[in-house]
Chains A and B, each alone.
Chain A
Amino acid sequence: MNDGCQGCGCGGAGASPPGGETRRGALFKLGAGLMAVGGAVASVPIFGALVAPGFRRYGNSWLDIGGVADYPAGETRLAKFSIPGASPNDGETATAAAWVRSMDGGKFQVFAVNCAHLGCPVKWFQQSRLFMCPCHGGVYYEDGSRASGPPPRGLFEYEWKVENGRLLIDAGRLPGLQETA
């Protein structure tokens, strides 16, 4: 009788009245079941908050990065902008930057500053018309294509459009190999 009781995991020992085994076994199962249900229900909000960013679709927004005249043709300049929907907690990290290449005919290319290798900030050199990365030595041509070093592709590009003489880019997320800019 007692041997059978130990098998149920309740750890009960000593004299048990007839029928106690089945009653305790049922109570144990009920307890385990209730704990499991309660734990599952409590886990959803507890861990939900942790993993929520993995399930949300983050969209971009059209952001004004200045007048078209701020970007003379033939030059590549740094544009700074605020990330839309940033929290007041973000401080300086609520801002981001992009390289704007202005070409003849009102055409633009807007590159993320993040290297396509591992995300370090690339720097533009006007004379040699190259972007260079300080971390692992990735180099890109002025059109963003890979020139040398470890990057597996060219620089990430933002969509852009001109409205009322203002240059807008479609941005907001940190670009990455699986995340277009």
Chain B
Amino acid sequence: MLRGLKAIIGWTEDRSGMIGVVTPIITHRVPRNAKWWYVFGSATLMFFCIQLVSGTLLATLYAPSAADAYQSLVYIDTQVPMGWMLRAIHGWSSNAMVLMVVVHMLQVFLHGAFKFPRELTWMVGVLLLFCTLALAFTGQIMRWDQDAYWGLGIGASIVDRVPVLGNQLRNIMLGGPYIGGATLSRFFALHVFVLPGLTIALVGLHLWLILRNGVSEMPKVGEPVVPATYRRDFEARTERTGVPFFPDAAQRDMVFCGLALIVVVGLAALYGPFGPNGNPDPTVIDANPRPDGAFLWIFAALALLPAQVETFLLLAAPPVIVLLLLAIPLISPRGERAPTRRPVSVLAMLLVCTALAALTWLGVTSPWSPVMDAWTSVPTPVRLVERLTPLQMQGALVMQYQQCRNCHAIDGTGGMRGPDLGDVGSRLSWDQLVRQVQQGGGNMPAYGKTLSAAETVAVVAFLQACRTDGQPPAFIPGALERAASGDLPPVAAPVAAPPAAP
């Protein structure tokens, strides 16, 4: 029996030579100090493999047609045995892959592992980062729900801003002059054929480059990379003190990958699949489109870019970011690798991470978005109501009825687009409040045409009453003296009639 197996293996090896090819690859010597810092690339690869398998199985159940996609997802979630879990694993593993590829990249940058002779490994890695992000974005489109539909609308609007050719490019992207079946088919082809194929090819190249140039050692202060001697010294050191990748180094990868996989499967079981969130019906305008986590920072940047430079930045930033990332090893191919000797690099990395984290958090809270139902769902605080005069009470009603609360919180509840009005009475004087309500400004619409004079008086009276206990109303020096002379009472002042509508 054993002899028979040996004979089969021997015959196969004689004809194919595969064992002779693979053995030196998996037992290639790696630096002894390549320990827990080095597990993230392996974890990324593992999650990519999970994506390939779960994605292939999803493709056997998913209907890639705009007419049927949404219903097929509902069917997978509710009717197919374990279908919801399959979708959940694909979704959570996708997030894990994005996270791991970013952490892997940060580790490589922090340790200067992109320097000679591994420049090309880094560049291929940058392409893999964008493949991963493209897979995540096109994967969100596959959900074919409201988020997917309006997310495509945002993408189309950005492409439409390209000078001269914008409209043509947009129609190529959408497969026509509107978002429809052709659009989903295009993104389906990208998501299941083009991008996975490209990613597999680049992963192969990435691994080949790792084998050719070796895994970098942990950086040591005072051991700069000198291209003239680096390869000879590195090979001598790994030959002398290195360990075989399998099993010595691989065991840490296995422990981490196993744990990461268990966590992802656990999250999938606990929280289930992502979406689909609402039919992709363009006539349902109550949608509240939000991108997936990896793109929330872009969503936030789009809300915060100054209007004058928005189009320029939207179009110029992506190629600049890609080229800059690709160029990092060319900018700094030699010298110290230790983070303590590369303060500018480390600070730049921290700055980018902080900015991305802050933008992502802003994307989660999206304070610039009106809370569409705040005017009917958020109450006026009791502390204010219990001391209001009838006029001020009327103003509170006007305030509620005019959807002011969609953008303005009072004591922290309501929209956050404009300032919280809980203490506005002690910040703005009567005249300033009238002016702000009627003329708007500072990113607030003008209500001069919408509110009658009486409504304006009421709402301003209410706003003046919006103060913390014991705070006097704001006033402009001199206004009180005029008020005392009977010229212009600070409360319930007559308001000029709103300008006639043109």
Known: A141-B445, A150-B305. A121 touches B287 (CB 8 A): yes
Q: Does B9 contact A (CB under 8 A)?
A: no
The digit string for A88-105, where 1 denotes a CB below 8 A from any CB of B, is 111111111100000000
Contact assessment for B177 and A58 in the assembled complex, using a CB-CB cutoff below 8 Å: yes
Interface residues of B in 284-314 (CB under 8 A from A): 284-289, 299, 302-303, 305, 307, 310-311
Among the listed B177, B303, B445, which residue makes an inter-chain contact with A148, where contact means beta carbons less than 8 Å apart? B445
Contact assessment for A152 and B154 in the assembled complex, using a CB-CB cutoff below 8 Å: no
CB-based A-B contact count at 8 angstroms: 201
Closest Cβ of chain B: how far from A121's Cβ, in Å?
4
Contact assessment for A53 and B303 in the assembled complex, using a CB-CB cutoff below 8 Å: no
Contact assessment for A53 and B178 in the assembled complex, using a CB-CB cutoff below 8 Å: no
Contact assessment for B403 and A137 in the assembled complex, using a CB-CB cutoff below 8 Å: no
Query: How many residues of A sit at the interface, in one of the four size bands?
Result: 35 or more
Please name all residues of chain A whose beta carbon is closer than 8 Å to the beta carbon of B272 when the two chains form the complex: none
Contact assessment for B403 and A54 in the assembled complex, using a CB-CB cutoff below 8 Å: no
Distance between Cα atoms of A126 and B153 in the complex (Å): 25
Distance between Cα atoms of A129 and B153 in the complex (Å): 25
Which of B65-73, B240-248, B263-271 faces chain A? B65-73
Please name all residues of chain A whose beta carbon is closer than 8 Å to the beta carbon of B445 when the two chains form the complex: 128, 130, 139, 141, 147-148
Q: Considering the complex, give the chain A residue whose CB is closest to the CB of B287.
A: A121
Known: A123-B285, A128-B402, A149-B443. A94 touches B180 (CB 8 A): yes
Interface residues of A in 67-106 (CB under 8 A from B): 78, 80, 83, 86-97
Please name all residues of chain B whose beta carbon is closer than 8 Å to the beta carbon of A20 when the two chains form the complex: none
Contact assessment for B280 and A152 in the assembled complex, using a CB-CB cutoff below 8 Å: no
Q: Does B334 contact A (CB under 8 A)?
A: no
Interface residues of B in 112-149 (CB under 8 A from A): 149
Contact assessment for B177 and A172 in the assembled complex, using a CB-CB cutoff below 8 Å: yes
Q: Does A122 contact B (CB under 8 A)?
A: yes
Among the listed A50, A90, A114, A179, which residue makes an inter-chain contact with B66, where contact means beta carbons less than 8 Å apart? A90
Distance between Cα atoms of A176 and B174 in the complex (Å): 13
Known: A128-B402, A150-B305. A80 touches B370 (CB 8 A): no
Please name all residues of chain B whose beta carbon is closer than 8 Å to the beta carbon of A12 when the two chains form the complex: none
Please name all residues of chain A whose beta carbon is closer than 8 Å to the beta carbon of B307 when the two chains form the complex: 150, 152
The digit string for B174-200, where 1 denotes a CB below 8 A from any CB of A, is 111111111101000000000000000
Contact assessment for B283 and A97 in the assembled complex, using a CB-CB cutoff below 8 Å: yes
Q: Does B150 contact A (CB under 8 A)?
A: yes
Q: Does A127 contact B (CB under 8 A)?
A: yes
Distance between Cα atoms of A88 and B161 in the complex (Å): 30
Please name all residues of chain B whose beta carbon is closer than 8 Å to the beta carbon of A162 when the two chains form the complex: none
Instruction: Write the residues of chain A forming the contact surface with B, with a CB cutoff of 8 angstroms.
Output: 50-51, 53-56, 58, 78, 80, 83, 86-97, 113-114, 117-123, 125, 127-130, 132-137, 139, 141, 147-150, 152, 172-174, 176-179
Please name 21 pairs of A and B residues whose Cβ atoms are closer than 8 Å in the assembled complex, sorted by A: A55-B168, A90-B67, A91-B67, A92-B280, A93-B178, A93-B282, A121-B284, A121-B287, A127-B375, A132-B403, A134-B287, A134-B288, A134-B289, A135-B299, A135-B302, A137-B368, A150-B302, A177-B157, A178-B161, A179-B167, A179-B177
